């Protein structure tokens, strides 16, 4: 939970100092008190029907928030979001829901119009804040009963106090996490996008284990932590049963498409030979005034339609094959990002060699162990 406040600046608020206001109040003149502050609180709201990151704005007196403009890249369509309540619902408090599509740090710029309900002159407050990388994960007090089957395990020689500093900086927490000397640290989160659990386990011996069924999330966590701790090399053991099943299915589909393309290519070559023969026969029949010429051209038309259909099938197979290869490559990139440094480069080479030889079992073992 983040709490911020910022002094305001006034827009079109120039008054003649010689004029004496005997009965006008601040509210009638449209001037807000000098001590007016805009407070901003950011927290993860997992109790809503659609969980989200919530920005709560409020003033410290009877002024109201007329409207709010939020600038952020990658969250809103057009990078801008405007909230302006109805006149009957104007109040000192206003909430805005954010749905972050990716786990990346995001800078948000907030501009709020603050004033009194019955005036046309408002004051602009500006606040800029960076949302942590893993803002879409809500801290839960106790671990989930159904632990994720997937995990990545590695060892880091680092004090748990620094691990707590990394967690506090990269997650949206109501209060900072700390650890007692000599104790282990286990923290549980719930993803606001899909409700899936995330459990981080840190032992004082340096053995760390991240439980999650998302290999992408595990790789993002490792890259973020090693960057924060300035770790140049890291090897790990990764087991993600669901992702491994998807990889096997992708490779099987790619193999089937390659076999289908070979068969279609052979049929295409055979039909080309038949077309050449039919063209010669049709021309011979035309020159000899034989009645079979029409039947030859009918057969040519039918072969041409068959070749067009086969070409469309091959085109679809090619497109699906390219998409499948992209998915396999994305999977390998996630596998590589579970390691750091030379270990990351080595596993990519080992995986590609295993795919070339169509050795699926060896590929899975490499993904798990990080080495041959």
What does the domain layout of the chain look like in residue ranges? 2-131, 137-231, 241-369
Range with lowest mean pLDDT among 21-35, 149-163, 170-184, 269-283: 21-35
> Which one is predicted more confidently, 141 or 196?
196
The pLDDT tens digits for 328-345 are: 999 999 999 999 999 998
Residue 292 has pLDDT above 90, yes or no: no
The pLDDT tens digits for 165-192 are: 999 999 999 899 988 877 889 999 999 9
Residue 26 pLDDT: 53
> Model pTM?
0.81
What is the percentage of the chain residues whose pLDDT exceeds 70?
Answer: 90
Residue 1 pLDDT: 45
> How many whole angstroms separate alpha carbon 128 and alpha carbon 78?
18
Length of the chain: 372
> What contacts 329, CB < 8 A, 6 or more positions away?
none
Residue 366 has pLDDT above 60, yes or no: yes
> How many whole angstroms separate alpha carbon 30 and alpha carbon 11?
11
Query: Mapping DSSP to helix (H, G, I), strand (E, B) and coil, where does residue 201 land?
Result: strand
Q: Tell me the mean pLDDT in the region 211-231.
A: 95
* Buried-exposed string 183-210: b where 16+ CB fall within 10 A, e elsewhere: eebebbbbbbbeeebbbbbbeeeeebbb
Residue 144 pLDDT: 64
Residue 328 pLDDT: 93
Q: Tell me the mean pLDDT in the region 22-51.
A: 78
In CATH terms, the fold of domain 2-131 is Immunoglobulin-like (2.60.40)
Residue 370 has pLDDT above 90, yes or no: no
The pLDDT tens digits for 198-209 are: 999 999 888 999
Identify which of 228, 168, 230, 175 has the alpha carbon closest to the alpha carbon of residue 200: 168
Cα angle 100, 103, 106; round to 5:
65
Query: Mapping DSSP to helix (H, G, I), strand (E, B) and coil, where does residue 94 land?
Result: strand
Task: Classify 230 in phi/psi space as left (phi over 0), alpha (psi -120 to 50) or beta.
Answer: left
């Amino acid at each position: 939970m983040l709490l911020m406040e910022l002094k305001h600046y006034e827009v079109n608020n120039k008054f003649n100092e010689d004029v004496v206001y005997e009965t006008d109040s601040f509210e009638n003149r449209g001037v807000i008190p000098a001590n007016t502050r805009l407070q901003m609180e950011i927290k993860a709201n997992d109790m809503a029907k659609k969980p989200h990151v919530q920005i709560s704005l409020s003033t410290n007196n009877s002024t109201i928030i007329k409207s709010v403009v939020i600038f952020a890249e990658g969250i809103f369509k057009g990078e801008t979001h405007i909230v302006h309540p109805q006149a009957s619902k104007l109040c000192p408090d206003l909430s805005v829901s954010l749905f972050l599509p990716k786990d990346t740090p995001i800078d948000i710029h907030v501009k709020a119009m603050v004033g009194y309900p019955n005036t046309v002159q408002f004051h602009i407050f500006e606040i800029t804040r960076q949302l942590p990388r893993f803002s879409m994960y809500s801290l839960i007090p106790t671990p989930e009963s159904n632990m994720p089957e997937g995990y990545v395990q590695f060892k880091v020689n680092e004090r748990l106090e620094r691990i707590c500093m990394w967690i506090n900086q990269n997650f949206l927490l109501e209060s900072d996490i700390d650890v007692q000397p000599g104790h282990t640290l286990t923290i549980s989160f719930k993803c606001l996008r899909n409700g899936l659990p995330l459990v981080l386990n840190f032992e004082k011996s340096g053995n760390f284990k991240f439980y999650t069924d998302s290999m992408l999330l595990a790789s993002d966590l490792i890259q973020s932590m090693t960057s924060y701790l300035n770790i140049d090399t890291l090897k790990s053991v990764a087991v993600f049963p669901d992702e491994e099943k998807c990889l096997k299915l992708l490779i099987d589909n790619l193999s089937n498409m390659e076999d289908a393309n070979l068969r279609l290519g052979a049929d295409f070559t055979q039909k080309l030979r038949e077309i050449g023969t039919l063209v010669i026969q049709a021309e011979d029949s035309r020159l000899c005034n034989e009645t079979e010429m029409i039947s030859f051209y009918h057969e040519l038309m039918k072969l041409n339609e068959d070749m067009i259909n086969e070409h469309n099938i091959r085109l679809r197979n090619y497109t699906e094959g390219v998409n499948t290869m992209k998915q396999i490559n994305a999977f390998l990139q996630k596998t590589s990002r579970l390691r750091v440094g030379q270990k990351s480069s080595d596993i990519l080479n080992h995986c590609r060699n295993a795919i070339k030889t169509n050795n699926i079992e060896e590929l899975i073992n490499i993904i798990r162990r990080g080495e041959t």
